[in-house]
Amino acid sequence: MFQRCLFSSEEISLLGETARNDHAMDKAASTMDDGEGNDVRLSLWNHPGNGIYGMIARSERIVDKVEQLLEDEAYHYHSKMILKDAKIGGAWAWHQDYGYWYQNGLLFPNLCSVMIAVDEATEENGCLQVLKSSHKIGRINHILAGDQAGADMEQVEEAKNRLELVQCTMSAGDALFFHPNTLHCSAANLSDKARWALICCYNAKSNNPYKESHHPSYTKLDKVTDDQVLIVGRDEAIRSNAEFANLVEDDQSAKSLNEN
Ligand SMILES: O=C(O)CCC(=O)C(=O)O
């Protein structure tokens, strides 16, 4: 479900400027080969924090919507910045987020991801592609192929025959809310325009994991009013506050899948 212009051009410029000057984010980024020689790069953090990333992830305009969709109180499961750079940004294989997350002790697929376009996303720079209504299939088995875990292609091919493929072109500031069983992928970015995106992921309080993982169990999310995005974003001293996770060492969910 799209929410166009969820963030104003000033808000999204402040987010982009903060992220692009954020050395800690750059340093924490992990890079995976997409199998075609391009780099899939992202930085991830578990707790939203008090910087502009946190103000967005905790904003009423997002969290209230997520809570409606989850029919429950939502908590922050993690956020990530997809650093899909011009010319070298790698492709993401077809997958469902719950294809990994179910291994983290989450019994139900009652989670929601919100992708916020930091840059304009087009087919040329590798916008997200989704198979419409694919969340109704349920969870598909995921297999490790090279650096990335992807959904079993036999089922994906069949789903592609039956479901509409949507190229999620977005303007900076647009948001896409999607279910964790939605099949999605993206092509490499061979264009000369970067395609960065912030993805904030939420879990329902009642879906608290039954075992520990590298993502948090229920932690109360303190919502903030929508004006905080600009207030914090304009304050250079605090806007880049975030504690980045070490994806390579911490993430066991992809590694524990069977190799192809
Ligand atoms: O931004 C993209 O191209 C894909 C990101 C994605 O699929 C994910 O983070 O699960």
pLDDT per residue over 101-154, tens digit each? 999 999 999 999 999 999 999 999 999 999 999 999 999 999 987 778 899 999
198 φ, ψ (degrees, to nearest 5): -100, 130
Ligand 1, closest atom to CA 184?
Answer: 7
Is the Cβ atom of 114 under 6 angstroms away from ligand 1?
A: no
CA distance 250 to 242: 17
Q: Does residue 260 have a pLDDT over 90?
A: no
Which residue from 77, 199, 253 has its CB within 8 A of the most atoms of ligand 1, so it is best to mutate?
A: 199
Number of domains in the chain: 1
pLDDT of residue 247: 72
pLDDT per residue over 195-254, tens digit each? 999 999 999 999 999 999 999 999 999 999 999 999 999 999 999 999 999 876 676 566
CA distance 246 to 205: 25
Is the Cβ atom of 101 under 6 angstroms away from ligand 1?
A: no
Q: Does residue 62 have a pLDDT over 50?
A: yes
User: Which structural domain, as residue segments, surrounds residue 154?
Assistant: 2-259
For residue 179, what is the domain's CATH number? 2.60.120.620
Number of Cβ within 10 Å of residue 220's Cβ equals 9
Ligand 1: distance of its center to the CA of 137 in Å? 20
Is the Cβ atom of 186 under 6 angstroms away from ligand 1?
A: yes
Is the Cβ atom of 81 under 6 angstroms away from ligand 1?
A: no
Number of Cβ within 10 Å of residue 235's Cβ equals 12
Q: Are 196 and 119 in contact (CB under 8 A)?
A: yes
Ligand 1: distance of its center to the CA of 214 in Å? 18
According to DSSP, the residues that pair with 236 across neighbouring strands are: none
